[in-house]
Amino acid sequence: MSAERQGSRDPGIRAKISTGALLHFGSSVGVRLLGIITVAVLGRLLTPADFGIFAYAVFVSTLTDSCFYRHFHFSLVRLPQVTEKHLDTLFTLRLLTGLIIAGGIALSAKPVAVWVDSPELYAVLNWIAIAQIIGTFSSPRFMLLEKELRFAPAAFQVILVRTLTTCSAIALGFAWGNYWALVTGLVLMPIITLLHSHWVAPYRPRVSLVKWRAFLRFGLWVMSGNLFNFLSIRVDRLLLGPFAGIAAVGIYRMGVDIAELGTQQFAQPMERVIYPGLATKGQDKSSLMNAYLETQSVVIGVVLPMGLLTALSASEIIRIVAGPDWLAAAPVMWILAPLIALTTLEGGVKALIYINNAPEKIFFRNLLIFCVAMPLLIAGVTLGGFEGVIVASAAVKIFALILTLRLADKATNTSFFAPFLRAWRSFFAGACMVLAIALVISCGPSTTADTSVSAAAVFLAFKASLGISIYLAMHFILWAMSGCPNGIESLAVALLRRAKSRVLRPAAR
């Protein structure tokens, strides 16, 4: 029996992972829809400068979450057995980390506001500092649910947080008409998360550092790696402000955010379930390798067409979502959307390396990317301004993808091209989709600043329906011609059959 077939021997775990991915996918779709609504409303109420201020607030908030807190989740999931003392230690470490981070944000608020010539940032960053302290009191027991492959509470929490913050942002946008409408959501987010986490997984805070060794080595490597990775990916907008102005930062961030709409709604939920799912494979190298390659092929099969369609429909999406005043963000989407789609492969590689207990490899990888990214981005913004940052950011993403996959092929003893070879049908179908849309659109009208929203919606619907039809048709034709191997197509068929059986079961009763 081939390794490819062996990967499907554990239907229980695979079913939980698939269900978890679907739950997070559904919540992420809901979050993205709410995000579109937020941008559609506030993009017409606020200015690019308002979004530029918000971009810096998000930069700081996301930096602290992804770099200084997320490693606690990875550390907890990898532990073979978790006790109350582990939870107490995790809570204490988070609290100490939050206090240090809040102090650092408060001290740097004034210099940052002066550096980017935006006095409004001083008050904004101080409120972000307060939000950091609030967030540390969320229940550490809530993290154990995903270790047990119970993903529904986390998926619901994502929807709950985004729904409430979206409603507040829109209401305050009409009431205040400035950046505080957006920033307030960043303060409400940890409050809502705290209350929900204790409601689902109650925990009485206790200060203890008894189990600090269980988190120290692994956590420090992951935290340091995440820090350099975050800076490599997001320092572009930080550098853009002093050279091109706060409004340019807002336009650039709008382009990146919309470019991520199609891919991140799948990548983020997959990343939430990949690590716990692969962790169940333990030290079975053959099973782990096959599960990794199968997961990466599924990721490519879904995010690749989304990235390509986003790039091909950039003008229409911007016109519908944000309005004609934001069409300057279209070049960001043309170049970065497909690359953003492929960078979602990083989630599977990180999970693989963490399971092998080698977080230092991710750290050195991210450090190297940072050392390459900084001079590229500085040169890009200095020589080319707005357009230079786009090109430099694209180069950084390509370099990071190559380096990431090099780590994976060493960990699995496979070829560098193994994930791409496993997903060759997706790349061929994607090429056919791009060719078909390009040929048809070249003979028709294009979206301009004067194009109405209804006309842009028609153009977008046509491109999306044509592209998805071509992609799916080619995918299943190639799958059938290949003898129906195990892959994204077989997973889709299995999920459809399961859904059909659940629908028909009540009717049979």
Handedness of CA 120, 121, 126, 130 (dihedral sign): positive
Contacts of 356 (CB under 8 A, 6+ apart): 411
Nearest to 437 by CA among 475, 457, 466: 466
Q: What is the pTM of this model?
A: 0.68
Among 7-16, 68-77, 276-285, 476-485, the range of highest mean pLDDT: 476-485
The residue behind tokens 């709410």 is 34
pLDDT of residue 4: 40
For residue 60 the two structure tokens come to 């700081």
Sequential DSSP letters for 32-92: HHHHHHHHHHHHHHS-HHHHHHHHHHHHHHHHHIIIIIHHHHHHHHH-SS--HHHHHHHHH
Q: How many CB atoms lie within 10 A of CB 364?
A: 15
Place of tokens 């506030």: 42
Q: How far is CA 415 from CA 57, 98, 409, 411, 422, in A?
A: 41, 42, 6, 10, 11
Q: What's the burial of 155, exposed, middle or buried (CB within 10 Å: 0-12/13-18/19+)?
A: buried
What is the average per-residue pLDDT within 92-118?
89
As a whole number, the mean pLDDT across the chain is 81
User: Which residues are CB-neighbours of 304 under 8 A, at least 6 positions away?
Assistant: 338, 341, 342, 423, 426, 427, 430
**Domain extents in the chain:** 3-508
Residues 337 and 311 sit within 8 Å (Cβ to Cβ)? yes
Phi, psi of 179 (to 5 degrees): -65, -20
For residue 430, pLDDT over 80 is answered with: yes
Residue with the larger pLDDT of the pair 57 and 504: 57
Q: What is the pLDDT of residues 375-415, one digit of tens each?
A: 999 999 888 888 999 999 999 999 988 888 887 776 666 66
d(CA 138, CA 130): 14
